[in-house]
Structure 1
């Protein structure tokens, strides 16, 4: 089986553009040509990269493609602004096995205020609906009226939450499907959003790379409201004043990725320290030392109302990607309500790691 010429591109975050033109013959790569605005020395290395890719199975993953390129290159080769994995990603995009932001239209959902458990359930429903081909990629903010602690899928309930303090303040405890740490959330005092994307969008990326890739627009959105932020560690977004946000992911069988982010707008630090057993470490991580202060990196650095910050975030997202407004279906809401009953509102799930 022979194909016409296929073209794929990949822009390295913070780096250069890599383009690949290729053909396919008998389920193998043929006539491969790599190009881009990267830097490569010596010049002859480009021919070695092209030659290394010819003959590889079209089903080769990014890691396999990168490993083949690295093996073919002598140790003195300098690749600046790109690497072998970037070439592999461009190859996969040419084959239609990896995708870019521009290949997808995102549905913006605005269901209004919901109980925290319902938001956690919707994350799972939308992730599974995309994985099973019944729903495209989505973007939505969380809005709720009740305070909550949302703990990571693998955290110990008793180690994270002071049950008596939570009950005293009317704070519910929800265990989400993604990993990561506990989040203390109050209505109107934090900004949380969920992004559900096809796994093809982060094809071949390490977990660390996928976090930074999916949050690059957030860095730009923060800049638009006056915050100079950068990605830090595996899943944190930091500013000169300290940590400003944390992200978490869940990958669903079938090919979808749930990526959600929470940032503190104006949290009651004293209450958070009483409800979270690791409150002092949380505050220190955010650059706040005193329990009499509020954890407010977004409010204090932007001096903008929370609603205006969120509106700017949405404007930036719309300006970068294809976005259409949509609604949750009755079936999706029904699935989420059932998950609240059987899972996210069920004490057995919440305490599954005591």
Structure 2
């Protein structure tokens, strides 16, 4: 499992100075070198390929960090930096929050992708209830340090609707359409909207990670940060995709997917995404009750127009898109192929019986 370095305390030798780096998504690289003396930041030196005016702002930022308690939160560090920036100074390509993330990384309070040994679990067909239960099980395993951070691709056979943790079953799902099309309805642990999923019609993956990876990154920004590799994979396939705040993934042709997250008390975290591949839009609108308010917010009058499948945009088989995603993630983060253990599968099945397969859980928000 991934181990974290222990911060130095008094040695000012260059070889033992603490070093942190953070590449701002869509921005510049921020680097910090520092010492910790008697529990406080010392000898702070900020650098990077960012732009900053006037020059005097750089030593002012260093001074604002010097003497801070090493246990300060990312928000406290960012606040100190913002207070120390001279009036009228211009930060281009970075921010006070980016500096805070970099400092936290130097102190091993925050981590980067490279600090972890990543694993990838290829698609394997499982009941939808088990897929949802595994999201809770594996996020807990990461938080407890019993599993390396992991990317898992879903697969399933039964047509399903997976609703968000806080959605109303009555408001989101049409019982007539569910009965007519034999749909399995399941509630997941994360928020967000309903997912209409038939075998082979979408691509779903879950990312299980320690919350240290998003330490100091705002909730909104964490979505794009965790899916940067997906955008690179889509770019490789000839698709230019982007995030539409908060959690929609889209191209110029329309929405192609959505993301959701859940942060656990033990430090583990779930981030997952469903992307449309070859969705049956007619069946989807018979099964889901997609309100006029939601459609108006997205600037369209039709639910069918909101979802533009990857098959039409790429002309590729679903398996080819999945392979490209796995390859990009593996190359970018040095991930190793992994698998679900029998213990993890057994625990997921137990939770289906006790929680995810029960009417009480499904209808907790009627």
Alignment of 1:114-125 (within 5 A): 114-125=126-137
Secondary structure at the aligned position of 2:316 is classed as coil
Q: 1:172 aligns with which of 184, 200, 205?
A: 184
* Residue 23 of structure 1: aligned partner: 35
Secondary structure at the aligned position of 2:335 is classed as strand
Unaligned runs of 5+ in 2: 1-8
Offset, 1:290: 8.2
Q: 1:126 aligns with which of 122, 135, 138?
A: 138
Q: Deviations over 1:47-89 (max 9, x none)?
A: 0000110110111111111100111122210000001111111
Q: Deviations over 1:264-285 (max 9, x none)?
A: 1111111111110117788885
Query: Runs of at least 4 residues of structure 1 off by over 4 A?
Result: 279-291, 293-296
Contact 1:229 1:237 in 2 (8 A): yes
Q: Distance in 1 between matches of 2:290 and 2:300?
A: 15
* Residue 46 of structure 2: aligned partner: 34
Contact 2:300 2:306 in 1 (8 A): no
Q: 1:275 aligns with which of 287, 299, 308?
A: 287
Report the aligned-residue RMSD: 1.8
Alignment of 1:253-268 (within 5 A): 253-268=265-280
Contact 1:272 1:279 in 2 (8 A): no
* Residue 249 of structure 1: aligned partner: 261
Secondary structure at the aligned position of 1:112 is classed as strand
Secondary structure at the aligned position of 2:87 is classed as coil
Secondary structure at the aligned position of 1:67 is classed as helix
Residue 159 in 1 paired to residue 171 in 2?
A: yes
* Residue 318 of structure 1: aligned partner: 330
Alignment of 1:197-216 (within 5 A): 197-216=209-228
* Residue 313 of structure 2: aligned partner: 301
Contact 1:273 1:280 in 2 (8 A): no
Offset, 1:319: 1.3
Structure 1 length as normaliser, TM-score?
A: 0.96
Give the number of aligned pairs: 353
Q: 2:10 aligns with which of 2, 7, 16?
A: 2
Q: Deviations over 1:271-328 (max 9, x none)?
A: 111110117788885979486x995421111011111011111111111102111221
Offset, 1:110: 3.0
Offset, 1:122: 0.4
Q: 1:183 aligns with which of 180, 190, 195?
A: 195
* Residue 105 of structure 2: aligned partner: 93
